[in-house]
Amino acid sequence: MSRLKIHENKSNFIRDGKPFFYLADTIWSAFTNVTIEEWEFYLEKRKMQGYNVLQINTLPQWDRCVADTGIYPFASEDGQKFDFSKYNQDYYERAKKMCQMAVDKGFELALVVLWLNYVPGTWGSRMLDMNIMPKEYVKKYTDKVISEFDQFEPIYVVSGDTDFDTDDAIEYYQIALDELCKKSPSTLKTLHIKRGYDIIPEEFLDKIDFYMYQSGHNAMEQRMAYMLPQQISEKYPKKPIVNAEPCYEQMGYSRMQYGRFGVKEIRQAAWSSILSGACAGVTYGAHGIWNWHRINSPKNSVLGEGFDSPNPWQEALQFEGAWDYGFLKYLLEENRVEELIPCQELLENASEEIRIAKTKEGNYFIYVPYSTQVVIRESLKGYEIKAIDLQTRQIVYVTPDYRENKTFLKMLPISHDIVYIMKKKMTDIKREE
C-alpha cells in the first residue's frame, strides 16, 4: 500500500497517519540531465529546505538543457529522436538508483508518465512532433513505468502540461490511466495540465485521486493562482488540490514579455493558491533546476520554449525563494493546519489579490501582497493576531480596532508582502469547551 494517502477531509494528504503538506520541487529533467554526484548534492539541499516531493518526467523533457548526460530510455542517435520499440535498460537502472536515493532521504516521487509532446492532438505535439509515441506503445510504456518504478510507491502523474481538447489526447491518456489503475491500484494518480486550464474529462474523474493545476509563467495572468482552485472546486467532486506549477523563480515572462519572476511574485503565487482552495500543497520551481542548465552549455542550449536564458543549476539551487516555500510549509505545520477553507466573503472592499481562509478550528490566515488596511466582517475579539513580513520574517504583534461588529487591521509599516495569522486565545478555546 502507498504510504501517501488522501485525508478523510478530501482536502489534504496524510502519510503514516499524519498530515502531509505536499511541498514539491520541479526537477523534470532529472533522469537525463543530473549526474549521480549532482543528485546527492541537490537532494541534501532540498531536504534541508523542507521539501518532501520531487516532480520528475520519466521521459526526456522536451525543453530540457541539451547538455545532458547522454543516456535515454529508448534507442536514439542524437538524444532527440527516439525509437520507442527499443528500451535502454541502463537508463532505467540509473533512474531507479536516483529514485532510491531520494526515497531514502524521505522524498515522495511524483513521476510523469506521458508529457504532452509524446501525445498527438496536444498543443505541445503540434509544436514539436518528432517524438509522438505510436498508440500501440502507450500501454507497453505504461507497463514499463510500473514495472520499473512501482517499488517506490510513487504518485503517478499521468499527463504533463497537457490539454484534453482532442479525442486523440483523451484516448492516449485514458489508456495510460486505465493501465495504472489496473496494475498499480494502491498508488495515487493525478493529471498535470497546462497553464490556465481547468478541463478534466469526465471519464478521468473517478480514477484520479487529486487535482493538479498550473498557474504558470504568464505575467499577465498570475490571478490564475487563486482563480483556478476556485473553479476546480466548483466544477468537480471534492478532492485535494495542488498548484503543481506556479511561476518559477527567475523564469522569464512568457508571451515575449520582458522580465523575470522574483521572490515576491513566487510567494504571492504560493500563498494565493493555498488560501483559495489548493491547501493540499504547492510546487516550487527554479529556472535552471527544472531543465538542469549547465554553465558550459552551448549557446541557445535550451530545447522548447525557454522563457529567456536560465541560470546554471549551481546558481539556481541557491535562489532565496526556495526557502520562502519551505517557510510557508513550516508556518502551516507549526500552527497544525490541515484544511484551509476560503472565506473571501469576510473581506470588505478588498482587492481580489488579498486572500483569506480559515481552519476547521476557526483560526484565520490572510495574505496581503502590499500593506494596506484590511477590514474583516466579523469581530475577532479574543483572537491573538500576528503579522509576518514574508521578506524579513519579522513578526508584528497586531492590535486591531473593533467597531460595528467588524475587525479593522490598520496598515502596517511593512514594505513587503504580509501573512496575518489570527488564532483564538487559549482561554477562549477552553471557555468554548
pLDDT in tens, 127-143: 889 999 999 999 999 99
What is the 8-class DSSP label of residue 118?
G
- Phi and psi torsions of 423, nearest 5°: -120, 140
Q: Map out the domains of the chain as residue ranges.
A: 4-334, 343-432
Q: What pLDDT sits at residue 1?
A: 43
Tell me which residue of 313, 317, 364 sits closest to 342, measured CA to CA: 364
Q: How far is CA 74 from CA 84, 211, 383, in A?
A: 6, 30, 60
**Whole-prediction pTM:** 0.95
What's the grid cell of residue 109? 516521487
Q: What pLDDT sits at residue 303?
A: 47
**Three-state SS at 184:** coil
**Three-state SS at 126:** helix
CATH number of this structure's domain 4-334: 3.20.20.80
Domain 343-432 has CATH 2.60.40: yes
pLDDT in tens, 192-205: 999 999 999 999 99
Measure the CA–CA gap between 229 and 113, rounded to whole angstroms.
Answer: 24
pLDDT in tens, 251-281: 999 877 889 999 999 999 999 999 999 999 9
The residues, any chain, with a CB within 8 Å of residue 218's CB and separated by 6 or more, are 195, 196, 224, 253, 254, 255
- Phi and psi torsions of 366, nearest 5°: -130, 130
